[in-house]
Amino acid sequence: SGPGDPSHADPAPGPDFVTPVDNLFVRSHMGVPEIDADTWTLTVEGLVERPLRLDLPAVLALPAGHLTAVHECFGSPFRPDVPTRAVTNVEWTGFPLAALLDRAAPLPAARHVVFEGADTGSFHGEDGLSYVKDLPLETAHRAVFLAHGMNGAPLRARHGHPLRAVVPRMFGTNSVKWLTRIVLTDERPEHLFTTTFYTRTPPGEDTPRPVREVDVNSKILSPAPDAELLPGTLTFRGRAWSATEVTRVELSVDGGPWEPATLDALGAEPTWQGFSLRRTLRPGPHTVRSRATDTAGRVQPPPGARNSVHEVSFSCPSHVLRG
Ligand SMILES: Nc1nc2c(c(=O)[nH]1)N[C@H]1C(S)=C(S)[C@@H](COP(=O)(O)O)O[C@H]1N2
Ligand SMILES: [Mo]
């Protein structure tokens, strides 16, 4: 055994474990608002004992930490079953929402936290909208991170400058950008982005639920689709993630049995996990599929769901012209 021996899981997370900022996807429903950082404020209001209003210097003066987390777009709110590839892993800089909630002191009647962004406009024929999401108070207090930096630099305008919410283990739709208002309420807000869209009905249930926790998922990154590779030994590589730890990734080559891949354990943070499997392949066309399972026993379903098993087709031509 030695370097490159697949039985020795690489302790380093590998290249692009944190996605470079230039490779990040951007999802904005109503465009990027123009925000003047000198006049921007964040309020914490509603069912609280002490409403807060903070300007940017006050926000930046709060003790800051880091959170590295998977950031995944749910995809089109109109087509909740279509698989997407908009997933990244970002190192955010900021502070827990709990720091502000504790200062504002929620009243006993407060049950929900509503997040509102500065972007306004029309969406799906409705005018005068702003971007609004909500979470149960306990979830928000435990999980939400407020970020003013990403990957060691200030947040870019399109990613929510000067401040955005980040909700680890939940779909990106919950991570409100250009945050201006945090409102504590007793009821969920009725809104296009809370109760009309970004809901889905789990199999076997009949009540739609808000799109929150991410699905168990995996994507094969190497080989790339339609790659032409030298026949011989190659290493399949990819990444898996879920709302809990992924405990197993299996690959099926050319429709063969599921074989366990080497899987990086989840560290202290809600990041994605790398996997790899080495195989020797004959010349000709090939397919490889990946399937992840998490600690909750969730498994990627067969084709037809948004988090279906991932399949890549590639080939090992008998002669590869180089040059
Ligand atoms: N204010 C606001 N926040 C928003 C959105 C938006 O349109 N407006 N889009 C959401 C969606 S659907 C996703 S996937 C993430 C995308 O974050 P990013 O553009 O930084 O990758 O932001 C979320 N937060
Ligand atoms: Mo999204």
Q: What domains, with CATH codes, occur in the chain?
A: 21-210 (3.90.420.10), 215-320 (2.60.40.650)
pLDDT of 165: 98
The residue whose CA has the least distance to atom 10 of ligand 1 is 173
Mutate to test the pocket of ligand 1, among 175, 180, 212 (most ligand atoms within 8 A of CB): 175
Q: What residue's CA is closest to ligand 1, atom 23?
A: 173
84 lines ligand 1 (CB under 6 A): no
Q: Report in angstroms the alpha-carbon separations of 6 from 9, 10, 15, 235.
A: 6, 8, 17, 9
> Which listed ligand is nearest to 172 at the C-alpha?
1
Does ligand 1 lie within 6 Å of residue 27's CB atom? Answer: yes
From first CA to last CA, the distance across the chain in angstroms is 32
According to the model, what pLDDT value does residue 5 have?
Answer: 38
* CA of 73, closest atom in ligand 1: 14
The pLDDT of residue 67: 98
Residue 223: CB within 6 Å of ligand 1?
A: no
The best mutation among 144, 151, 158, 177 to test binding of ligand 1, ranked by most ligand atoms within 8 Å of the C-beta, falls on: 177
Tell me what pLDDT residue 78 has: 87
Is the Cβ atom of 25 under 6 angstroms away from ligand 1?
yes
pLDDT digits (tens, 9 = 90+) for 2-26: 333 333 344 456 678 999 999 899 9
Among protein residues, the one whose CA lies closest to atom 20 of ligand 1: 159
Ligand closest to 167 (CA) is 1
Write phi, then psi, for 161 (nearest 5 degrees). Answer: -50, 135
How high is the pLDDT of residue 81?
81
**Which ligand 1 atom sits nearest the alpha carbon of residue 88?**
21
Q: What is the bridge-based pairing of β-strands 259-260 and 246-253?
A: antiparallel
Q: What is the pLDDT of residues 37-89, one digit of tens each?
A: 999 999 999 999 999 999 999 999 999 999 999 999 999 888 888 888 899 99
Ligand 1 proximity of 75 Cβ (cutoff 6 Å): no
| Residue whose C-alpha is closest to residue 141's, from 182, 171, 188 | 182
Counted residue by residue, the chain has a size of 323
Q: What whole-number distance in Å separates Cα of residue 133 and Cα of residue 167?
A: 11
The pLDDT, as a whole number, for residue 15 is 74
What is the rounded distance in angstroms from the CA atom of residue 168 to the CA atom of residue 245? 13
Token representation of residue 168: 């680890």
Which ligand does the CA of 28 lie closest to?
Answer: 1
Q: Does the CB atom of residue 193 touch ligand 1 within 6 A?
A: no
> For the segment 209-256, what is each residue's pLDDT rounded down to a tens digit?
999 999 999 999 999 999 999 888 999 999 999 999 999 999 999 999
Q: How far is the CA of 84 from the centre of ligand 2 (A)?
A: 10
Cα angle, residue 115 at apex, residues 157 and 178 outer, rounded to 5°: 10
Q: What is the mean pLDDT of residues 85-114?
A: 97
Q: Is the CB of 29 under 6 A from ligand 1?
A: yes
pLDDT at 2: 36
Closest ligand relative to 92 C-alpha: 1
For ligand 1, whether the C-beta of 159 sits within 6 Å is: yes
